[in-house]
Structure 1
Amino acid sequence: MNKLSPKEKRSIKTIYSLAFKFVGYLLIGFFMVLYIGIIYSFIYDTMLLYYLVYNNKLLIAVLMLIGLIEGFNVIFNYGLVLIVSPGLTSEIFTKANDKEEGPFIYDPIRCQFNKSQLAIKLDQSTLKYCDKCCLPKPQRTHHCSICNKCVLKMDHHCPWVGQCVGHQNHRYFILFLTHIAIGTFYISILNLNLVMSNKFEEYRVHQTKEFSIIWPLNISLFFMLSAFAGWNWFLAMRGVTTLEFWDKNNDFRKSKRIQNLQQIFGQVKNWIQILSPSVRDLPSNGVIWYETQVEHSKILKELQEEDEEEIIG
């Protein structure tokens, strides 16, 4: 049997990558249609029948507000997972000359969604090298065969968002799963009352035809995504990514759960801050890792003082 030539292998990888991306676009479109369908059914099926039965504007306003807040959190975090780069080595390392293995210009500010961080001095000799990207490969970085790029603190490639989940968009992915699990649970409870109670019997003629499809889909989403969200929270509190978990790599695991969560969600102190919409800065730039934002600020201050001393000297 003839072996494939390097050119043929590259062609197969290119076709595979394009096919996977195309499937990703289809899944994104499917999710958006499903999301709109659930919101539409929530307003014109669930809330309408609750209003007709209970005739209490304050109750309906509160129930509607809770549902729409969860709906906003779902689409807010999903949108950020789609548009925020997971953090790529190609975004922070550029070749300083024509030499294949460096030196490289290190500019982490280009990679930050929140650009408040300053560039950190980096000893590039401590980094591994990716033969596929021809760029430095920091700790926790993995090469994605679909994106064909190295991703900082890569968790996995997700076709539902059309890109990798990594250092910069990891929090949005977890919050997306969390809020859709909460939202579908909330709607399922309301719909369960609607289906089981005889109070709604005479008003069911006002339901849309889509309700019979959306209602079971909503329950299915709750069970599936609750399990997936739970798995991601388990990993987050342990301070490991999916890849690190399977590789049994605990090198970056902190002693306290809150410290592990801060690596993903930034300087948070409670669950309200964690679950709220946020674009807060992260304690690490994805290349150099710090335990806390305080330590990060301290190191930055020391580096600035060293620079000032060099200038004065």
Structure 2
Amino acid sequence: MQRSGAAMAWNVFKFCTALRGLGSIMILLVLAIVGVSYYTIVIAIYGPALLHTGLPDSLAFLAVLLLFHFLLGMLLWSYFSVVLTNPGSVPPNWRPVMDEEKGDMDPLMSSEYEGPGLGSNRSTMDPANPRIRFCRKCNQVKPPRCHHCSVCARCVLKMDHHCVWVVNCVGALNYKYFFLFLFYTFLETILVTLSLLPYFVKFFTDGEIPGTPGTLAATLITFILNLSFALSVLGFLIMHISLIAANTTTIEAYEKKTTREWRYDLGWKENFQQVLGRDKKYWLIPAYSDEDLRLMPALQGLEYPTRPDLDVLRGF
């Protein structure tokens, strides 16, 4: 039985290695879907229609093309911000500040607690505070809300999940970009779906559809792909809106089922600001203002404000 368990553990890590290789393919798939959509909307249908119709219709086609390019630009900006941004790594020799050491253990820390009585792990703990979390794989102290990613083989600050679509973890420093990627993907796919809907209806009602057979095939494929992605992304978007409103992550939402009160929930407005920033001009772009980066420690992923009422009850 021990050999079987060891083999299963080994296979899990082999699977993590495969996920790292899969990521590059997923990026190409995303770009392929974007390319097909661009060809169908701009080159095959709305571009030619803009040049060969009267003024009222041409203005409508121009509006669709402008909105399409704007949403596509924001989608790609957000996407590559997620891909290229480090989600947040633990600084070398990081130690918690004294105020954190006075309190009790975070409700979610118990699942990763390494303390006295755990054999060989005892020597790796801080003798001044045995309740501090320690990652045995990275051999370092773990800040609050930090988790180890087996795929990336590192600890990630405020880790939400590892996403194969972006070949990266989603964590403290790129979660906003991931959320905006979902947001703009949903808007873009809805726009493409609605723009191609009349042509899709004509196909099944024996209506006359302009273009070559290749154009027709591209139109049908683009419509089906974008409709499927719109419905799928909508579910993820709603889920992450609810997570942000509660100031939690996908991992924490699963783990905190055993806790009655969530000490990081400061109200939906403050919770959203911890992800999007306080400067409203930056809410819908994948960037933060210099002032927010300077005045909001939560955006750096190491310190998070907590509910004063729960801190008092726990002795913080």
TM-score scaled to structure 2, two decimals?
A: 0.73
Q: Residue 143 of structure 1: CA displacement? A: 1.1
Matching residue of 2:189: 184
**Correspondent of 1:215 among 223, 229, 242:** 223
SS in 2 for 1:157: strand
Q: Tell me, which stretches of 5 or more residues in structure 2 are unaligned? A: 96-122, 307-316
Matching residue of 1:276: 285
Matching residue of 1:203: 210
**Correspondent of 1:235 among 228, 236, 243:** 243
- Alignment RMSD, CA only? 3.1
1:55–1:205 distance in 2 versus 1, CA, 3 Å: farther
SS in 1 for 2:217: coil
Deviations 1:177-203 (A, max 9, x none): 1101001101111111333369x8352
**Map 1:252-291 → 2, pairs under 5 A:** 252-255=264-267, 257-269=268-280, 273-280=282-289, 281-282=292-293, 283=296, 284=298, 285-290=300-305
Distance of 2:68 and 2:43 partners within structure 1: 13
Paired amino acid for 2:190: F
Paired amino acid for 1:35: V
SS in 2 for 1:201: coil
Q: Tell me, which stretches of 5 or more residues in structure 1 are unaligned? A: 104-122, 292-313
1:245–1:136 distance in 2 versus 1, CA, 3 Å: same
State the identity as a percent: 25
Q: Residue 53 of structure 1: CA displacement? A: 6.8
TM-score scaled to structure 1, two decimals?
A: 0.74
Matching residue of 1:55: 54
Matching residue of 2:120: none
Kindly indicate whether the alpha-carbon contact (under 8 Å) linking 2:186 and 2:229 is maintained by their aligned counterparts in 1.
yes
Deviations 1:252-284 (A, max 9, x none): 1112x2211111111234xx6422342434422
SS in 1 for 2:208: helix
Kindly indicate whether the alpha-carbon contact (under 8 Å) linking 2:196 and 2:219 is maintained by their aligned counterparts in 1.
no
Kindly indicate whether the alpha-carbon contact (under 8 Å) linking 2:125 and 2:132 is maintained by their aligned counterparts in 1.
no
Paired amino acid for 1:3: R
- The count of residues paired between Structure 1 and Structure 2 equals 263
SS in 1 for 2:88: coil
Distance of 1:128 and 1:141 partners within structure 2: 9
Paired amino acid for 1:181: F
SS in 2 for 1:275: coil
1:50–1:196 distance in 2 versus 1, CA, 3 Å: farther
1:4–1:216 distance in 2 versus 1, CA, 3 Å: closer
Paired amino acid for 1:135: Q
Paired amino acid for 2:274: Q
Q: Residue 154 of structure 1: CA displacement? A: 0.7
